[in-house]
Amino acid sequence: MGEFKVHRVRFFNYVPSGIRCVAYNNQSNRLAVSRTDGTVEIYNLSANYFQEKFFPGHESRATEALCWAKGQRLFSAGLNGEIIEYDLQALNIKYAVDAFGGPIWSMAVSPHGSQLLVGCEDGSVKLFQITPEKIQFERNFDRQKSRILSLSWHPSGTHVAAGSIDYISVFDVKSGSAVHKMLVDRQYMGVSKRKCIIWGVAFLSDGTVISVDSAGKVQFWDSATGTLVKNHLIANADVQSIAVSDQEDSFVVGTAEGTVFHFQLVSVTSNSSEKQWVRTKPFQHHTHDVRAVAHSPTALISGGTDTHLVIRPLMEKVEVKNYDAALRKITFPHRRLISCSKKRQLLLFQFAHHLEVWRLGSTVATGKNGDTLPLSKNADHLLHLKTKGPENIICSCISPCGSWIAYSTTSRFFLYRLNYERDNISLQRVSKMPAFLRSALQILFSEDSTKLFVASNQGSLHVIRLMEGSFKHLHTFQPQSGTVESMCLLAVSPDGNWLAASGTSAGVHVYNIKHLKLHCTVPSYNFPVTALAIAPNTNNLVIAHSDQQVFEYSIPDKQYTEWSRTIQKQGFHYLWLQRDTPITHISFHPKRPMHILLHDAYMFCIIDKSLPLPNDKTLLYNPLPPTNESDVIRRRTAHAFKISKIYKPLLFMDLLDERTLVAVERPLDDIIAQLPPPIKKKKFGT
Amino acid sequence: MVEEDSVRVVRCGGSELNFRRAVFSADSKYIFCVSGDFVKVHSTATEECVHILQGHRNLVTGIQLNPNNHLQLYSCSFDGTIKLWDYIDGILIKTFIVGHKLHALFTLAYVFQLVSVKLPKSSSQEIEAKELSFVLDYINQSPKCIAFGNEVKFALVFYFVYKISLQFTLSSSKNKKHAKNNFTCVACHPKEDCIATGHKDGKIRLWRNFDDDKKYTYTCLHWHHDLVMDLAFSVTGTSLLSGGRESVLVEWRDATEKNKEFLPRLGATIEHISVSPAGDLFCTSHSDNKIIIIHRNLEASAVIQGLVKDSNIFTGLMIDPRTKALVLNGKPGHLQFYSLQHDKQLYNLDIIQQEYINDYGLIQIELTKAAFGCYGNWLATVEQRQEKETELELQMKLWMYNKKTQGFVLNTKVNMPHEDHITALCFCNAEKLENPTLVTASKDGHFKVWILTDDSDIYKKAVGWTCDFVGSYHKYQATNCCFSEDGSLLAVGFEEIVTIWDSETWELKCTFCQRAGNIRHLCFGRLTCSKYLLGATENGILCCWNLLSCALEWSAKLNVRVMEPDPHSENIAAISQSSVGSDLFVFKPSEPRPLYIQKNISREEVQWGVFVPRDVPESFTSEAYQWLNRSQFYFLTKSQVTIPLQKAEESLPTTPFYFILGKHREQQDEKINEALESELVQLPLTENIPAISELLHTPAHVLPSAAFLCSKFVNSLLLSKETKSCEEIPEDVDMEEEKESDDSDVENDFTEKTQDTNDTDLGEDIIHQLSKSEEKELRKFRKVDYSWITVL
């Protein structure tokens, strides 16, 4: 594996924002997650829960509701009173419609997917017709006294239940009038609370309305008579979310105590048809409020203030005991937030609204393997660059020479030149960016920092030549005819001749920079690409996919390399394929062409192509090779995958020079420490 | 029938009431509990023991109501039999011989089957029925691990099999992760397909959908912090009851975690919970041998308290001179007063008066010594707590009997009465007695004499105890002390030496030394033998000294464990311990030849013994048994499981009910020794007409209906026409008998009848089982009969 001096960076003060809504789409098996900063992320559950798309957040656009409509259309509504539809191909916002009812608290798509209902601050429930292009206001339902916090359609589409403060209304969709008003008990553990907020409702096909409220109750109502049928007191705090499975045989609720409860419809006796709802298992995977839950056919999905997205498979629904049967906890985005200038040993950290540039510390001390070396010079925080405007940063990059920084928001692209005069740094914005450079999904500098590659959200790729303080637009690669898919990942060869670009689903395109034309397209694969890199000298393109497969493609030969074919034939080790998180970064050792360095959030791996591949019987995660063991044994047990799990959660790892690595970690405890305190619970014996 | 002239050891009380779940009768009027070899029937309203169903020859291990006739009760025992009882009359109806040790018994409502569990080494389960016989393996020892659902037999067997597989898969798979996830008990929902299991980590899991291999699901309820001892569903299944070491009964309503009710401070670990079929009562069996009957609204309504069995009985057995109750260690820190006649606890006296904290490894204050003095007017207790070798906390308390409150009141508290452990405590019980005297002997080498003195001051008149004299002998540890009967002499044992002190002047009179090991027991002879002093040593020598000649009268080689003088005679009982068992010797100090020897009274080591004076003296003529005329001898063995109190002499408890319902004759037959005449002579005058006295003395709630008593009552008054009435009644009896036997054939078609009870008895008992309507019919029939005769 070789010995490296590792910069163990823990000063990346990144805190993901809390999850506000989750929406599961059964047809495409995708999950939309919105965060408190307005970011919307799309996870592909079929592709190993990979976060394949994201829409950057906006300060004024706090999402309160998220839902999928017919034809894979995603809508969100928020406190700015707008309903937004997202363009999942171009990864931007298609349009925003003001509902004119004040802040929107809830939204629901009709079972047929053609109508959209929003509940507003002023107590109005507004029905919108979803047209192929837009949405169109149809009419208002009877206006209620207070804000509509939750909405649920009856599966037949004839009735709607709306949760408000202290009561639940049932509307007839045809007439738009309230049929029933079901008052909810304000009592909370014998004490009368001021108000009882209905955080969620669910309308079942048998007419039962399930409500969850701020008093910690889960209540079952008969919508035909408007009466309370059953009451489950499950928490001492708010129950904030509910999601029902499609079969209506189970549902899940999330509480402010961080507990997720599963309810199941269980037959009373084995030979009677009578069934009852029974609270079964509680899951405590969160420390804070569970703001949103979703119920996929095989899993319970929950997310909340503690920023984790937890996917808890239902064991009885999982057919085979494989990777899908494991609990998933997704905390960090599956994209790169850090870039590194190798020459000047700089790290660029991307936050939602600012960028930070740090210079790595250095040491003069030497030590044995495993020693912690004392720093002779501490890491410097060189730059804190705040964005203008309310939009979040989409992507950012620092050039390898360290003199350029580029970043982009949804509407603007920024390029800065950094001047170093000994210890002083001056920042100079490159003005007059061309009109087409408005928004970028990915930015990359060439190895010699003379070229800038920008993937825009129209699917086009811009190549810009950088000069001292100015730039020149060289070329734009237009997307393949017929596709509008945006490119999210870029890789450039160290010699600057080749550029590889990948979208979310289609294959990887390789462009020849010299001739400014498309060189070839790597055959598309079922799973999205998570990382790309082109090896020096050989110009082999290494591609990592979300199913943990790694391919090596020779660009000059336009075919997969021999090694790649061998490993595909033999297959990866089963433990390798069972890893949780996608590979987010690939790099190469300049002196060792046979090595591929890659990492995910929990491990760092060097693949040595010269060594034999491991089979399922060999130990994949070998500890650091013991020094006293004889060479023979070591050689016999050695295989191509050298894995280190010392650094986790690992957000970024790259090679600075031949003997130096930089690893950026973000301990979860540090994130939790920055979150608001959770609800205090008395624990027995403490 | 018992042999005429033998003295038997009878296990007479103090058995575990909490060995198995108690069972309610269908109307919740009675509660049944196992009690050693017996089944006790208590009234739920009054706590009174109504019947004792006896007949099993070993520990009763399970009781269940007969599902087809709720007036009958099944019981099974380690003796390999299942017995069917009529509990209203307290008689045995049938016995089934299984021939294996039966550990538990289950009955099912829908199938007429009697399910019993036998657990020989193969651990298999057998259903004893006509043609069905299921054998299931791998069942846990305790019956708590088995429960039956509400379904018919197939579902049941299925449950059963599944339950077991569940038990095994879960416990094996989860054991690795959470070591404390073991199952402790199980209960089935009466209406739904739901199984509740209790776990070692205090969680209760409610399993549903368990007939599906994959889709089974469970709900977790967690309140207990220690293991869940027992679970029970209410009759309707709406609530679940659980209990454990916390001594809190938890009611989970609707099986939801937030909706629970508590009944706290039940005193001791809840071991079993049962629910009455009518649903109005619960009962909890506790580790301190009590059963609490609890109303549906979680209010304790009655307590049936047996003998509390603490693992350590330091105080030994004493007899309270006032109540004639047995006194010994009870609940931690308490002295219990236990009525031997009624086999029930009278009351607890809190000695330590501190909250008992039940925590493992905590060193508690222990009540080590107690003694009654001055005809029960004074009680002395010693408590100690030793955390380390050098830190001994010692306290002596003196309690005065208060006639007004009918209880003991603390009079004097002495902190550290001695420097070291107190080994003996005795009052001077002389009759003249101008001031009460107490002697304590201690390992610190001293014995102290405490006397009652006037402690009055300007505020109140009071008395208190003070130390009067401290004696020692060559720095030997004082191990025993004993007053002579007249109180004139005090004997104090100092290791191997016995010293005799004059109680007037506290002068050392003489010493005896036999060099045969430390003195273990010391006592003076009584009445005519008061000139003798007896001492038993650790090396197995029993010595008798003559106090007049100051010389050894006789000695015998006997490893005496227990030596107790009879307060009403010269007799002294000694129990020796050998490897085979314990032997009882009764002798008079005046002659070395024992009066009576009973070999092997118990296989276990006998810890304590005591003579209990009889209320009514017996008159055994046989010389060997004369020692039992005025007292009975009770002893206690050191078995951790059961500490049966035993007495040498058969004496069945004879409740008035027992007499009325015709068992009089049988009872008399079973009485050992002297025939009827002598006993009748001893009966008080009113007893000459038993029916009247029984009618007057019996509590109303246990009396049969007035209609039934009437004829008997009238008959007893009609002395002159005795012969006529006697003729008529047997006729009726025969007819009823026929009718009843028909009924019983229809009702249950058992063919085995192995009971050796005579048929007339059975017939007689069945008569009393007749319902009121049947009785009325019979009476009508009788009237018709008479008219017909007159017409003729």
Q: pLDDT tens, B537-579? A: 888 888 888 888 888 888 888 888 888 888 888 888 888 887 7
pLDDT of B718 strictly over 80: no
C-alpha–C-alpha distance, residues B139 and A311, integer Å = 38
C-alpha–C-alpha distance, residues B164 and B125, integer Å = 12
Chain A: closest CA distance from residue B648 (Å): 52
Q: What is the mean pLDDT of residues A124-134?
A: 93
Contact yes or no for B193 and A281 at CB 8 A: no
pLDDT at A153: 95
pLDDT of A478 strictly over 60: yes
Q: Which residue has the higher pLDDT, B776 or A40?
A: A40
Count of helices and strands (H, E) across chain B: 9, 52
Chain B: closest CA distance from residue A180 (Å): 28
DSSP one-letter string for B123-155: -EEEEESSS---EEE---SSGGG----SS-HHH
Judging contacts by C-beta atoms under 8 Å, the chain A residues touching residue B255 are 278
Highest mean pLDDT pick, A635-649, B204-218, B336-350, B380-394: B380-394
Task: For residue B221, give every residue at least 6 positions away whose Cβ sits within 8 Å of its Cβ, in sequence order, or none.
Answer: B203, B204, B205, B206, B240, B242, B252, B255, B257
Angle at B94 between CA B88 and CA B96, to 5 degrees: 135
pLDDT of B715 strictly over 70: yes
Instruction: Select from B296, B300, B234 the least CA-distant residue to B270.
Output: B300
% of chain B residues with pLDDT over 70: 68
Contact yes or no for B151 and A270 at CB 8 A: yes
**Scanning every residue of chain B, which has its alpha carbon at the shortest distance from the alpha carbon of A189?**
B258
Q: How confident is the model at residue B657 (pLDDT cuts 50, 70, 90)?
A: very low
Contact yes or no for B214 and A316 at CB 8 A: yes
C-alpha–C-alpha distance, residues A81 and A98, integer Å = 6
Q: Does the CB of A270 have a partner CB in chain B at under 8 Å?
A: yes
Answer whether B15's CB lies under 8 Å from B272's CB.
no
Answer whether B102's CB lies under 8 Å from B96's CB.
no
Q: Which residue has the higher pLDDT, A487 or A561?
A: A561
Region for A659 from its dihedrals, namely left if φ exceeds 0, alpha if ψ lies in -120 to 50, beta otherwise: alpha
Axis crossing angle, helix B722-747 with helix B759-767, rounded to the nearest 10: 90
Which residue reads 């109307």 in tokens?
Answer: B27
Contact yes or no for B259 and A233 at CB 8 A: yes
Q: Which residue has the higher pLDDT, A187 or B591?
A: B591
pLDDT of B475 strictly over 80: yes
Range in B432-441, B743-752, B767-776 the model is least confident about: B743-752
Mean pLDDT across chain B: 72
Answer whether B658's CB lies under 8 Å from B667's CB.
yes
pLDDT at B556: 86
How far is CA B529 from its chain centroid?
35
Cα separation values, A239 from A182, A255, A302, B168, Å: 18, 4, 13, 36
Q: What are the strands of the beta sheet with A508-512, ordered from one edge?
A: A487-492, A498-503, A508-512, A517-521
Contact yes or no for B258 and A233 at CB 8 A: yes
Which of B192, B214, B258 comes nearest A234 by C-beta? B258
Angle at B749 between CA B748 and CA B750, to 5 degrees: 100
Cα separation values, B656 from B595, B664, B706, Å: 35, 10, 15
Which of B219, B225, B258 comes nearest A278 by C-beta? B219
pLDDT of B743 strictly over 60: no
pLDDT at A104: 94
Contact yes or no for A266 and B151 at CB 8 A: no
**Scanning every residue of chain A, which has its alpha carbon at the shortest distance from the alpha carbon of B225?**
A684
Mean pLDDT across chain A: 87
Highest mean pLDDT pick, A180-194, A272-286, A422-436: A272-286
pLDDT at B771: 59
Instruction: Select from B169, B107, B181, B192 the least CA-distant residue to B143.
Output: B107
Q: Please give the sequence-ordered ranges of beta strands (E in DSSP) within A314-403, or none if there are none.
A: 328-330, 338-341, 346-350, 354-359, 380-386, 395-398
DSSP one-letter string for A163-182: E-BSEEEEEETTT--EEEEE
Axis crossing angle, helix B690-697 with helix B706-717, rounded to the nearest 10: 140
Contact yes or no for A278 and B215 at CB 8 A: no
pLDDT at A88: 87
Contact yes or no for B208 and A233 at CB 8 A: no
Range in A206-210, B36-40, B219-223 the model is least confident about: B36-40
Cβ count near B733 (within 10 Å): 14
pLDDT at B173: 39
C-alpha–C-alpha distance, residues A326 and A285, integer Å = 13
pLDDT of B169 strictly over 70: no
Cis peptide before A333 (omega within 30 of 0): no
pLDDT at A108: 94
Sign, Cα dihedral of B234, B237, B243, B247: negative
pLDDT at B324: 84
pLDDT at B216: 75
Q: How confident is the model at residue B56 (pLDDT cuts 50, 70, 90)?
A: confident
pLDDT at A96: 93
Judging contacts by C-beta atoms under 8 Å, the chain B residues touching residue A270 are 151, 155, 193, 211
pLDDT at B740: 39
**Scanning every residue of chain B, which has its alpha carbon at the shortest distance from the alpha carbon of A279?**
B219
Chain A: closest CA distance from residue B220 (Å): 7
Q: Which residue in B162, B210, B222, B256 has the most chain A C-beta atoms within 10 A of its own C-beta, making it the best mutation to test that interface? A: B256
Cβ count near A135 (within 10 Å): 20
C-alpha–C-alpha distance, residues B101 and A571, integer Å = 61
pLDDT of B360 strictly over 90: no
Contact yes or no for A232 and B256 at CB 8 A: yes
pLDDT at B688: 52
Contact yes or no for B217 and A264 at CB 8 A: yes
**Scanning every residue of chain A, which has its alpha carbon at the shortest distance from the alpha carbon of B158?**
A270
C-alpha–C-alpha distance, residues B210 and B192, integer Å = 12
Judging contacts by C-beta atoms under 8 Å, the chain B residues touching residue A298 are none
Work out whether strand A5-9 and strand A660-665 pair parallel, antiparallel, or are unpaired: parallel
Q: What is the pLDDT of residues B496-546, one digit of tens each?
A: 888 999 888 888 888 888 777 888 888 888 888 888 888 888 888 888 888
pLDDT at B733: 37
Q: Which long-range contacts (CB under 8 A, 24 or more apart) does A608-613 make?
A: A608/A640, A608/A642, A609/A563, A609/A640, A610/A640, A611/A638, A611/A639, A611/A640, A612/A639, A612/A640, A613/A566, A613/A567, A613/A570, A613/A639, A613/A640
DSSP at A88: T
Which of A233, A276, A281 comes nearest B256 by C-beta? A233
How far is CA A73 from its chain centroid?
18
Judging contacts by C-beta atoms under 8 Å, the chain A residues touching residue B151 are 269-270
Q: Does the CB of A266 have a partner CB in chain B at under 8 Å?
A: yes
Q: Does the CB of A424 have a partner CB in chain B at under 8 Å?
A: no
C-alpha–C-alpha distance, residues A440 and A350, integer Å = 14
Answer whether A55's CB lies under 8 Å from A346's CB.
no
Answer whether B315's CB lies under 8 Å from B309's CB.
no
Cβ count near B109 (within 10 Å): 11
Answer whether B703's CB lies under 8 Å from B696's CB.
no
What is the ipTM for the molecules in this complex?
A: 0.81
Chain B: closest CA distance from residue A193 (Å): 18
Q: Across-strand partners of B373?
A: B378
pLDDT of B722 strictly over 70: no
Answer whether A498's CB lies under 8 Å from A510's CB.
yes
pLDDT at B487: 83
pLDDT of A650 strictly over 50: yes
Q: Which residue in A249, A268, A274 has the most chain B C-beta atoms within 10 A of its own C-beta, making it the best mutation to test that interface? A: A268
pLDDT at B489: 87
DSSP at A636: H
pLDDT at A76: 94
Q: What are the strands of the beta sheet with B532-537, ordered from one edge?
A: B519-524, B532-537, B541-546, B551-557
pLDDT of B296 strictly over 80: yes
pLDDT of B790 strictly over 60: no
Highest mean pLDDT pick, A316-330, B126-140, B150-164, B718-732: A316-330
| DSSP helix, strand, coil percent of chain B (3-state; round to 5) | 20, 40, 40
Q: What is the mean pLDDT of residues B762-784?
A: 53
Which of A268, A279, A684 comes nearest B225 by C-beta? A684
pLDDT at A130: 94
**B347: its two tokens:** 């009351």
% of chain A residues with pLDDT over 70: 94
Answer whether A511's CB lies under 8 Å from A476's CB.
no
Q: What is the mean pLDDT of residues B67-82?
A: 84
Q: What is the pLDDT of residues A385-440, one digit of tens each?
A: 998 888 999 999 999 998 899 999 988 899 999 888 877 888 888 887 888 888 88
pLDDT at B6: 58
Q: What is the mean pLDDT of residues B647-653?
A: 39
**B267: its two tokens:** 């005193």
Q: How confident is the model at residue B454 (pLDDT cuts 50, 70, 90)?
A: confident
pLDDT of B262 strictly over 90: yes
What residues of chain A, 627 to 686, have a C-beta less than 8 Å from chain B?
Answer: 684-685
Q: Across-strand partners of A540?
A: A554
Question: Chain B interface residues facing chain A, Cβ-Cβ under 8 Å?
Answer: 150-151, 155, 191-193, 206, 208-209, 211-212, 214-220, 225, 255-259
pLDDT at B328: 85
pLDDT at A241: 94
Instruction: Select from A599, A596, A446 the least CA-distant residue to A535.
Output: A596
pLDDT of A111 strictly over 50: yes
Q: What is the pLDDT of residues B111-138, one digit of tens each?
A: 444 444 444 333 333 333 332 333 333 3
What residues of chain A, 177 to 236, have a C-beta less than 8 Å from chain B?
Answer: 216, 232-234
Q: What is the mean pLDDT of residues A251-270?
A: 89
Answer whether B389's CB lies under 8 Å from B412's CB.
no
Q: How confident is the model at residue A164 (pLDDT cuts 50, 70, 90)?
A: very high
| DSSP helix, strand, coil percent of chain A (3-state; round to 5) | 5, 50, 50
pLDDT of A218 strictly over 90: yes
Chain A: closest CA distance from residue B289 (Å): 29
C-alpha–C-alpha distance, residues B188 and B159, integer Å = 10
pLDDT at B141: 37
Answer whether A285's CB lies under 8 Å from A252's CB.
no
Q: Please give the sequence-ordered ranges of beta strands (E in DSSP) within B443-549, or none if there are none.
A: 446-454, 463-472, 478-483, 489-494, 497-502, 508-513, 519-524, 532-537, 541-546
**A377: its two tokens:** 């010079």
% of chain A residues with pLDDT over 90: 44
Range in A119-128, A283-292, B540-549 the model is least confident about: B540-549
What residues of chain A, 348 to 387, have a C-beta less than 8 Å from chain B?
Answer: none
Q: Which residue has the higher pLDDT, A231 or B156?
A: A231
Cβ count near B630 (within 10 Å): 17
DSSP at A674: H
Q: What is the pLDDT of residues A427-473, one digit of tens each?
A: 888 887 888 888 888 999 998 889 999 988 777 889 999 887 778 88
pLDDT of B738 strictly over 70: no
pTM for this prediction:
0.76
Work out whether strand A451-456 and strand A440-445 pair parallel, antiparallel, or are unpaired: antiparallel
pLDDT of B155 strictly over 80: no
**Scanning every residue of chain B, which has its alpha carbon at the shortest distance from the alpha carbon of A216?**
B258
Judging contacts by C-beta atoms under 8 Å, the chain A residues touching residue B150 are 269
Task: For residue A676, give every residue at least 6 positions away whose Cβ sits within 8 Å of its Cβ, in sequence order, or none.
Answer: A288, A305
Contact yes or no for A266 and B208 at CB 8 A: yes
